[in-house]
């Protein structure tokens, strides 16, 4: 985890109201020089100040569009701020209000482990292996993927990217000898490939903590999709049993979950998709509908409040599904960042080195090119398509 120096004591003494007033004043003062981006998992009082909100995909697109602003203050986690730095021009400075806002999933794939895995897989098979990394990964891992002919993906477009990576391969026979190494979230990889029709036995889990990744050469050769053993500590809290429980409590609830959840949860859910997909689906649902949602608590509570008079929205289960690193971005860190910028200093600058940036940009640009610029197009592909599943 990166280091964040304690804030000057004045910031911890201020009331919420004072901080809000001062943030609003700093925003007005910085004007068009500043853009604040906020991920859907941010706290309500932070999201209130975001100029744009979105899921990881939408925020990457928004970052790429920032040509005029001088500063992008990223209310999200470290890998998102790195992506923004990679996608913006050199004159745009990207700031993360608290440097300890990392992502445990991204930390599960260190670049050295990925390089070792690549060599190990290469020794076991002559097949073409296409690396695909979820954007929830370090810039170094994105750079590796870009430098080895692969692409990034988000939970909004994993299917389109996997279809590109596995072009010529078919789950029902006929193979062009291609494989995918999917990093670092085994669940997004498994759920997406399964939704495309790949059976579970066409997948194998590569565990970077095991000698040889815990796989024999034969297992590597047999698998079409090699899944990295990584997960989201928030979404792994949801279980298939919780889905059963909510259905027995009230069968009229529809269950919608994020594809970072375990395969067994996604199979039992009615729908699965990115945070943006979850929001759009609940927005479009009929009055009176009831939703049990398997994703981070801040987003679910915000949706519940927004629709309280017309729809029922609740967490899938009464568990602590809080992303503690997203939570580190709070009003005081946001205000401190804006104060520093207004005083001519750039705090917590996120700056990816030029060589890594160039390679990571290839992987991010490939994703953006594959899915086009239409959010609706990516939305359509964001649902984990259970119609293609083989039970
Ligand atoms: P999306 O923003 O792609 O829905 O992913 C959720 C998440 O876990 C971000 O870290
Ligand atoms: Fe990482 Fe999960 Fe938090 Fe997203 S919700 S930032 S994947 S730990």
* Whether 227 contacts 182, CB under 8 Å: yes
- The ligand 1 site (C-beta within 6 Å) comprises 55-57, 136, 154-156, 232, 260, 274-275
Residues 190 and 292 in one domain: no
- Ligand 2 centre distance from Cα of residue 54 (Å): 14
Residues 113 and 191 in one domain: yes
- Ligand 1 centre distance from Cα of residue 135 (Å): 9
Length of the chain: 391
Residues 240 and 258 in one domain: yes
- The string of pLDDT tens digits covering residues 13-46 is 999 999 999 999 999 999 999 999 999 999 999 9
Atom of ligand 1 nearest to the CA of 135: 3
pLDDT at 374: 41
Cα→Cα distances 368→60, 195, 226, 378, 385, Å: 9, 22, 23, 10, 21
pLDDT at 249: 96
The pTM of the full predicted model, rounded to 2 decimals, is 0.94
Residues 88 and 132 in one domain: no
- Report if residue 301 sits inside a domain: yes
- Report if residue 304 sits inside a domain: yes
- Report if residue 187 sits inside a domain: yes
Q: How many structural domains are present in the chain?
A: 3
- The string of pLDDT tens digits covering residues 349-379 is 999 999 999 999 999 999 999 997 543 333 3
- Report if residue 211 sits inside a domain: yes
Residues 141 and 228 in one domain: yes
Q: Which residues of the chain have pLDDT under 50?
A: 374-382, 385-391
CA distance 329 to 96: 8
Residues 252 and 227 in one domain: no
- Report if residue 247 sits inside a domain: yes
- Ligand 2 centre distance from Cα of residue 172 (Å): 34
The CATH number covering residue 347 comes to 3.40.50.10800
Burial environment of residue 218 by CB neighbours within 10 A (0 to 12, 13 to 18, 19 or more): exposed
Which residues neighbour 350 within 8 Å (Cβ) at sequence distance 6 or greater?
Answer: 74, 78, 81, 82, 84, 85, 94, 95, 96
pLDDT at 391: 25
- Ligand 2 centre distance from Cα of residue 102 (Å): 8
Region of 158 on the Ramachandran plot (φ > 0 left; ψ -120 to 50 alpha; else beta): alpha
Residues 362 and 229 in one domain: yes
Residues 89 and 128 in one domain: no
* Whether 329 contacts 78, CB under 8 Å: no
Containing structural domain, residue 335: 9-102+325-351
Residues 249 and 225 in one domain: no
Residues 199 and 125 in one domain: yes
- Does the Cβ of 367 fall within 6 Å of ligand 2? no
Residues 22 and 121 in one domain: no
């Amino acid at each position: 985890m990166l280091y964040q120096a304690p804030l000057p004591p004045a910031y911890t003494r201020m009331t919420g109201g004072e901080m809000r007033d001062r943030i609003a004043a700093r925003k007005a003062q910085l004007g068009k020089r500043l853009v604040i981006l906020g991920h859907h998992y941010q706290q309500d009082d932070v999201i209130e100040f975001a100029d744009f909100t979105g899921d990881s995909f939408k925020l990457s697109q928004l970052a790429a569009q920032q040509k005029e602003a001088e500063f992008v203050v990223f209310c999200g986690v470290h890998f998102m701020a790195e992506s923004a730095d990679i996608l913006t021009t050199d004159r745009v400075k990207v700031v993360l209000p608290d440097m300890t806002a990392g992502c445990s999933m991204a930390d599960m794939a260190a670049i050295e482990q990925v390089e070792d895995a690549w060599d190990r897989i290469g020794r076991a098979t002559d097949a073409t292996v296409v690396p695909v990394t979820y954007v929830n990964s370090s810039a170094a891992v994105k750079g590796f993927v870009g430098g080895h002919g692969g692409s990034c993906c988000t939970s909004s477009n994993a299917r389109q990217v996997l279809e590109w990576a596995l072009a010529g391969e078919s789950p029902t026979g006929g193979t062009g000898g291609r494989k995918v190494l999917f990093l670092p979230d085994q669940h997004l990889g498994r759920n997406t490939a399964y939704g495309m029709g790949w059976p579970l036995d066409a997948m194998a889990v590569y565990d970077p903590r095991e000698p040889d990744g815990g796989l024999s050469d034969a297992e590597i050769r047999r698998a079409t999709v090699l899944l990295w053993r990584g997960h989201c500590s928030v979404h792994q809290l949801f279980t298939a049993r919780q889905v059963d429980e909510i259905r027995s409590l009230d069968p009229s609830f529809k269950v919608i979950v994020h594809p970072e959840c375990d395969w067994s949860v996604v199979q039992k859910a009615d729908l699965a998709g990115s945070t943006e997909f979850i929001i759009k689906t609940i927005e479009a649902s009929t009055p009176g509908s009831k939703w049990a949602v398997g994703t981070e608590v801040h987003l679910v509570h915000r949706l519940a409040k927004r629709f309280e008079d017309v729809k029922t929205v609740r967490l899938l289960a009464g568990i602590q599904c809080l992303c503690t690193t997203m939570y580190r971005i709070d009003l005081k860190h946001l205000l401190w960042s804006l104060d520093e910028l207004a005083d001519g200093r750039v705090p917590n600058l996120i700056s990816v080195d030029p060589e890594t940036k160039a390679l990571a940009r290839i992987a991010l640009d490939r994703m953006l090119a594959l899915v086009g610029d239409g959010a609706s197009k990516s939305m359509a592909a964001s649902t984990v398509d259970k119609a293609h599943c083989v039970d």
